[in-house]
Amino acid sequence: MEDIPTQIQFPHLASEISAMREADQNMRKRNLDDDSWEEGLDENNTKRMKEIVHEIGWPSVSKVGADASRASWLLVQHADHDVAFQSHCLALMQELPSGEVQSRNIAFLTDRVRVNSGQPQLYGTQFKQVDGKHVPKDIEDPEHVDERRKSMGLDTLADNIALMELSYPLK
């Protein structure tokens, strides 16, 4: 793993990205409880993330810190209305050296882009609800999914499904 500078290059953007993530997560938590949803929040976050990515490239660990880099991934993960932007960000993330972005985030965004493009996912990170259960959306070569998951720092698919059932019980 390459050494990552302890000082981040864009602290002002790190704060802004973290605030955007907080608004994103607050909206989603409210939605789980009372079906409220702020129309346009994802679109506004995507618009701002496009500006940030255009300005500095992918918000990596050395640019905005580990927390804001993860927050950037989450905001792009929720940009389902703009798969081209998700794909662009995925390509930027994949070019970075180890330590600048979490491999698990690359796995999640890879699956999100594939699912949003009508392709089966590689890592089994995207789910749907079927008969009151969390079920992975279609997976390419499912016999080897756990090997691919392990290579990206993810637990087994079975363990992930069990965690989903505990963390996000369906009504």
Cα–Cα distances in angstroms (integers) from residue 42 to residues 17, 23, 56, 107, in the given order: 13, 10, 21, 21
Distance CA 38, CA 54 (A): 26
pLDDT for residue 108 is more than 90? yes
List, for residues 66-107, the tens digit of each pLDDT value: 999 999 999 999 999 999 999 999 999 999 998 999 999 999
pLDDT reported for residue 6:
63
| Count of C-beta atoms within a 10 Å radius of residue 158 | 10
Token pair for 11: 């602290």
- Give the residue extent of every domain in the chain: 11-101, 127-167
Least confident of 3-7, 17-21, 106-110: 3-7
pTM of the model: 0.90
Task: Identify the helix (H) or strand (E) that includes residue 127.
Answer: strand 127-130
pLDDT tens digit sequence for 122-162: 999 999 999 988 999 999 999 999 999 999 999 999 999 99
